[in-house]
């Protein structure tokens, strides 16, 4: 019998958010995004750095990898969908055609060749359809024995939305909606119209929505025809993304009576109302899709994936509807999660893998940097720091958290997926309203309308929030109990809701212990948790990235491993006001 | 390629010219393909669509393409 483990590498790249995932006998060993290493947000390059880190982590070479998977089917996408779309929109779309032809001819049609050449790999390369990858990433990580599956995103090959059914070790997609009719693209079109960056800043629209009223529902329903079964078609007279390099054109502007907002223009009530209206439409549509999905693929369990599954407001509505007993949303629901999905699909389809009985428990699947490296860096940079034992550090940081200190918290392996969940986080006291302003304007350098997400001890979550289950990946929005809203103003949105992360000790002992110690001091089991980066920067990866971000912002303390740095002690050697401008200039605004 | 330093500038210029020529040529070839290949196909399809009945379906859901054996081995 051959006892050699089976390593499978999943890759997603050349669209946005490149990533690599390494499985060992079906278990996720390593998962990370290329942007974390290249420091280019949403980097779409071949994830060579992420792959090299994965192999080093597993202590193997490429020759030990049994199979490599790519998260979509390039021929299907190009020859079937993209070329057919050019024919459909002809004679429009000449410029887009030239760009696409060069991109596809030079790069995207040569995936196996690139994989073999860049990795010196000689084994088999497999392909899954884009939405199969999304579905696999949710179903095979859910721990459910069976499930209704819904995937919704911008577009894959043809599909933009799919419904499927998982049973045991296998799943099947049974219905789909085709491009250009896409909820993801509709949301992106509104993101574009509101002056934010497409494929990057959709979450800002979601954050803006509670400030407005759904005054534009009639116009929204002009843009889209929704059937009772949740299927829909966009009215393509209003969109330009099929043939142009923009999402919307003058007809769209005529419909709403205003031109598109410029990227740094003022945010008026009109923009907030638009954001609220598209969010309401998304909630309504996602719920309808799930009702229909449950009807044709019945199960008590729901698995969600695809970029739209990152819309935690809509997720919260589905949960609240009581349609399903349990919901699992893949934490890396966007295209990076496709790398995980295709690897799992290969494991189950080609190697007869068994459906895991446990759900994916955490996302700390990236690189880890040893404590010696952290200390070496601090010494080399002449940074004064204190080193402490774990309990002492926990108590000290819990004490510092009280009040208005903002702390960079850097520990262990980096997170897979778009959220920082306690290893690459900026943390602060959620009870202090001023922290909301301070973190937004002096540390993140971003628009002040966006709320912060709280991390709460899982066993205390229901006492503070209208939530009866775990939400370990910050993918559910629920209301803060009315009597608690004044107590944690820095994480309570204007509509009384919060985007919640619950934490259990087995998921991240160090982070859990810190919040527990904070609770023992203050009686509050909730803190602010936001990603460790500035606006436009990928989440910090290495100790050097963390130190750079700390030094160039107005963060008060930095905790890396068991070391503690205080900004006060180094202010003499640093001019933060001056340096943050140079630092920010390195990153493209989102 | 090893070029003696006195004429290496000539080689660099030739390369730049060749790249520019390549870009122009590919633009011309792609444009011809756009007008002739895509154009004819598009006109035929649009004409055929004009005569098709435009009934509104009761649902927009469609069946996914049929899976085939070992489909994961292929890019289509
Ligand atoms: Fe996707």
User: Are the beta carbons of A98 and B74 separated by less than 8 Å?
Assistant: no
- The top-scoring range by mean pLDDT among A226-230, A354-358, A565-569, B2-6 is A226-230
Q: Is the ipTM of this complex over 0.95?
A: no
pLDDT at res. A492? 94
Region A52-62: what's the mean pLDDT? 97
- Whole-number Å distance between alpha carbons of A480 and A488: 9
Enumerate the β-bridge partners of residue A68: A9, A125
Region B40-61: what's the mean pLDDT? 86
CB contact B5 to A (< 8 Å): no
- Residue A348 to residues A140, A148, A437, A537: CA-CA distances in angstroms? 9, 18, 48, 36
Q: How many CB atoms are closer than 10 A to CB A515?
A: 26
Number of domains in chain B: 1
Confidence of residue A579 (pLDDT cuts 50, 70, 90): low
Is the pLDDT assigned to residue A2 strictly greater than 70?
A: no
First CA to last CA distance, chain B: 39
Which range of residues forms the domain containing residue B24? 1-36
User: Cα(A86) to centroid of ligand 1, in Å?
Assistant: 21
Contacts of A439 (CB under 8 A, 6+ apart): A406, A426, A428, A452, A528, A530
| Best A91, A105, A128, A341 residue to mutate vs chain B (most B CBs within 10 Å) | A91
Q: Residue B1 falls within a domain, yes or no?
A: yes
Question: Among A113-122, A149-158, A338-347, A445-454, which is the least confidently predicted range?
Answer: A445-454
CB-nearest partner of A76 from B31, B41, B76: B76
Is the pLDDT assigned to residue A1 strictly greater than 60?
A: no
Average confidence score pLDDT of chain B? 87
pLDDT at res. B51? 77
The three-class DSSP label of residue A381 is coil
pLDDT at res. A549? 93
Which range of residues forms the domain containing residue A529? 371-585
Q: Residue A136 falls within a domain, yes or no?
A: no
Is the pLDDT assigned to residue A346 strictly greater than 60?
A: yes
pLDDT at res. A322? 94
The three-class DSSP label of residue B55 is coil
Q: Residue A307 falls within a domain, yes or no?
A: yes
Please give the angle made by the CA atoms of A339, A341 and A543, to the nearest 5 degrees. 45
Report chain A residues touching chain B, CB-CB < 8 A.
69, 73-76, 79-80, 86-88, 90-91, 94, 97-98, 101-102, 111-112, 124, 126-128, 159, 162-163, 173-178, 181, 227, 229, 231-233, 292, 345-346, 349-350
Q: What is the pLDDT of residues A127-138, one digit of tens each?
A: 999 999 999 999
Considering the domain architecture, whether residues A341 and A221 belong to the same structural domain is answered as no
Q: By CB neighbour count within 10 A (0-12 exposed, 13-18 middle, 19+ buried), where does A143 fall? A: middle
Which one, of A412, A409, A516, A411, lies nearest residue A458 by Cα? A516
Q: Residue A529 falls within a domain, yes or no?
A: yes
pLDDT cut 90: percent of chain A above it: 86
Q: Residue A143 falls within a domain, yes or no?
A: no
Residue of B nearest to A88 (CA): B42
Confidence of residue A589 (pLDDT cuts 50, 70, 90): low
Considering the domain architecture, whether residues A567 and A469 belong to the same structural domain is answered as yes
Considering the domain architecture, whether residues A295 and A399 belong to the same structural domain is answered as no
- Whole-number Å distance between alpha carbons of B76 and B65: 11
Q: Residue A478 falls within a domain, yes or no?
A: yes
Q: What is the pLDDT of residues A252-310, one digit of tens each?
A: 999 999 999 998 889 999 999 999 999 999 999 999 999 999 999 999 999 999 999 99
User: Are the beta carbons of B76 and A79 separated by less than 8 Å?
Assistant: yes
B24 membership: H or E segment, kind and range = helix B5-33
User: Are the beta carbons of A345 and B73 separated by less than 8 Å?
Assistant: no
Q: Residue A141 falls within a domain, yes or no?
A: no
Considering the domain architecture, whether residues A115 and A196 belong to the same structural domain is answered as no
Chain B residues inside the 8 Å CB shell of A79? 76
- Whole-number Å distance between alpha carbons of A133 and A415: 20
The edge-to-edge listing of strands for the beta sheet with A146-152 is A170-178, A159-167, A146-152, A301-305, A326-329
Residue A372 token pair: 């010696």
Residue of B nearest to A109 (CA): B75
Q: Residue B54 falls within a domain, yes or no?
A: no
Which one, of A116, A535, A51, lies nearest residue A339 by Cα? A51
User: Are the beta carbons of B62 and A176 separated by less than 8 Å?
Assistant: yes
Chain A residues inside the 8 Å CB shell of B31? 94, 98
Q: Residue A46 falls within a domain, yes or no?
A: yes
Considering the domain architecture, whether residues A48 and A115 belong to the same structural domain is answered as yes
Enumerate the β-bridge partners of residue A428: A528
- Whole-number Å distance between alpha carbons of A385 and A180: 55
Considering the domain architecture, whether residues A319 and A392 belong to the same structural domain is answered as no
Q: Residue B6 falls within a domain, yes or no?
A: yes
Considering the domain architecture, whether residues A563 and A446 belong to the same structural domain is answered as yes
Residues in chain B: 76
Enumerate the β-bridge partners of residue B20: none
Q: How close, in Å, is residue A220 to chain B by CA atoms? A: 18
Considering the domain architecture, whether residues A60 and A123 belong to the same structural domain is answered as yes
Find the DSSP H helices in A77-209: 83-89, 94-103, 111-119, 130-142, 183-193, 202-208
Contacts of A574 (CB under 8 A, 6+ apart): A551
Question: Among A54-68, A431-445, B15-29, which is the least confidently predicted range?
Answer: A431-445
Q: Residue B63 falls within a domain, yes or no?
A: no
Q: What is the pLDDT of residues A520-535, one digit of tens each?
A: 999 999 999 999 999 8
- Whole-number Å distance between alpha carbons of B16 and B10: 10
Please report, for the domain that includes residue A122, its CATH number. Answer: 3.30.420.40
CB-nearest partner of A231 from B39, B60, B72: B60
List the shell of residues around ion ligand 1, using CB closer than 5 Å.
Answer: A 153, 335
User: Are the beta carbons of B72 and A345 separated by less than 8 Å?
Assistant: yes
- Whole-number Å distance between alpha carbons of A278 and A209: 8
Q: What is the pLDDT of residues A91-100, one digit of tens each?
A: 999 999 999 9
Average confidence score pLDDT of chain A? 93
Considering the domain architecture, whether residues A439 and A526 belong to the same structural domain is answered as yes
Q: What is the pLDDT of residues A424-474, one digit of tens each?
A: 999 999 999 888 888 887 787 776 676 789 999 999 999 999 999 999 999
Which one, of A581, A528, A573, lies nearest residue A553 by Cα? A581
Question: Among A450-464, A472-486, A573-587, which is the least confidently predicted range?
Answer: A573-587
Q: Residue A144 falls within a domain, yes or no?
A: no
pLDDT at res. A164? 98
Number of domains in chain A: 3
pTM over 0.90: yes
Considering the domain architecture, whether residues A306 and A217 belong to the same structural domain is answered as yes
User: Cα(B58) to centroid of ligand 1, in Å?
Assistant: 27
Considering the domain architecture, whether residues A97 and A196 belong to the same structural domain is answered as no
Residue A290 token pair: 């799930």
Enumerate the β-bridge partners of residue A424: A410
pLDDT cut 70: percent of chain A above it: 97
Considering the domain architecture, whether residues A340 and A324 belong to the same structural domain is answered as no
User: Are the beta carbons of B75 and A127 separated by less than 8 Å?
Assistant: yes
**Residue A546 falls in which region: left (phi positive, over 0), alpha (psi -120 to 50) or beta:** alpha
No. of H helices and E strands in chain A?
A: 22, 21
pLDDT at res. A78? 92
Please report, for the domain that includes residue A572, its CATH number. Answer: 3.90.870.20
Q: Residue B48 falls within a domain, yes or no?
A: no
């Amino acid at each position: 019998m051959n006892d050699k483990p089976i390593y499978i590498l999943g890759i997603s790249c050349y669209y946005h958010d490149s990533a690599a995932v390494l499985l060992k006998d079906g278990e996720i060993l390593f998962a990370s995004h290329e942007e974390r290493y290249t420091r280019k947000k949403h980097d779409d390059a071949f994830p060579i750095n992420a792959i090299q880190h994965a192999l080093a982590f597993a202590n193997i070479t490429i020759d030990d990898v049994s199979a490599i998977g790519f998260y979509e089917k390039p021929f299907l996408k190009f020859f079937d969908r993209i070329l057919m779309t050019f024919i459909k929109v002809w004679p429009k779309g000449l410029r887009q055609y030239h760009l696409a032809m060069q991109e596809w001819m030079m790069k995207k049609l040569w995936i196996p060749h690139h994989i073999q050449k860049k990795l010196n790999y000689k084994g088999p390369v497999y392909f899954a359809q884009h939405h199969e990858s999304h579905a696999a990433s949710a179903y095979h990580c859910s721990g459910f024995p069976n499930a209704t599956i819904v995937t919704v995103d911008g577009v894959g090959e043809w599909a933009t939305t799919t419904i499927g059914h998982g049973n045991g070790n296998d799943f099947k997609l049974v219905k789909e909606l085709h491009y250009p009719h896409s909820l993801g693209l509709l949301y992106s079109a509104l993101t574009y119209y509101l002056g934010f960056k497409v494929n990057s800043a959709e979450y800002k629209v979601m954050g803006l929505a509670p400030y407005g009223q759904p005054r534009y529902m009639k116009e929204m329903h002009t843009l889209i025809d929704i059937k009772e079964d949740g299927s829909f078609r966009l009215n393509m007279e209003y969109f330009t993304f099929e043939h142009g390099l923009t999402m919307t054109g003058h007809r769209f502007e005529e419909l709403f009576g205003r031109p598109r907002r410029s990227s740094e223009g003022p945010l008026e009530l009109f923009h907030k109302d638009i954001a609220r209206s598209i969010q309401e439409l998304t909630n309504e549509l996602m719920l309808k899709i799930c009702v229909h999905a449950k009807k044709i693929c019945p199960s008590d369990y729901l698995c969600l994936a695809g970029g739209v599954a990152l819309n935690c407001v809509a997720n919260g509505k589905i949960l609240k509807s009581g349609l399903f007993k349990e919901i699992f949303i893949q934490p890396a629901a966007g295209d990076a999660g496709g790398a995980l999905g295709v690897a799992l699909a290969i494991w189950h389809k080609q190697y007869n893998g068994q459906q895991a009985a446990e759900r994916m428990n955490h996302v700390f699947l990236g690189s880890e940097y040893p404590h010696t490296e952290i200390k070496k860096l601090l010494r080399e940079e002449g940074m004064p720091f204190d080193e402490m034992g774990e309990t002492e550090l926990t108590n000290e940081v819990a004490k510092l958290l009280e009040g208005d200190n903002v702390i960079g918290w850097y520990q262990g392996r980096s997170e897979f997926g778009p959220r920082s969940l306690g290893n690459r986080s900026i943390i602060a006291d959620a009870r202090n309203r001023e922290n909301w302003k301070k973190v937004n304007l002096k540390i993140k350098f971003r628009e002040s309308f966006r709320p912060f997400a709280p991390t709460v001890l899982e066993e205390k979550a229901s006492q503070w929030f209208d939530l009866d289950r775990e939400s370990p990946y910050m993918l559910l929005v629920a209301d803060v109990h009315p009597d608690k809203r004044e107590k944690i103003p820095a994480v309570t949105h204007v509509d009384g809701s919060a985007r919640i992360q619950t934490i259990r000790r087995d998921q991240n002992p160090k982070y859990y212990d810190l919040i527990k110690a904070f609770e023992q001091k203050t009686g509050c089991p909730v803190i602010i948790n936001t990603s460790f980066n500035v606006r436009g920067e990928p989440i910090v990866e290495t100790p050097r990235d963390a130190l750079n971000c700390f030094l160039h912002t107005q963060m008060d303390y930095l905790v890396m491993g068991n070391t503690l740095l205080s900004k006060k002690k180094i202010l003499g050697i640093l001019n933060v006001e001056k340096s943050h401008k140079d630092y920010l200039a390195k990153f493209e605004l989102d | 390629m090893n070029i003696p330093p006195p004429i290496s500038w000539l080689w660099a210029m030739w390369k730049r010219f060749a790249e520019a020529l390549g870009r122009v040529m590919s633009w011309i070839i792609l444009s011809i393909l756009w007008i002739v290949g895509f154009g004819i196909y598009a006109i035929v399809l649009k004409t055929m669509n004009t005569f098709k009945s435009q009934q509104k379906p009761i649902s927009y859901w469609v069946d996914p393409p049929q899976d085939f054996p070992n489909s994961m081995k292929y890019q289509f």
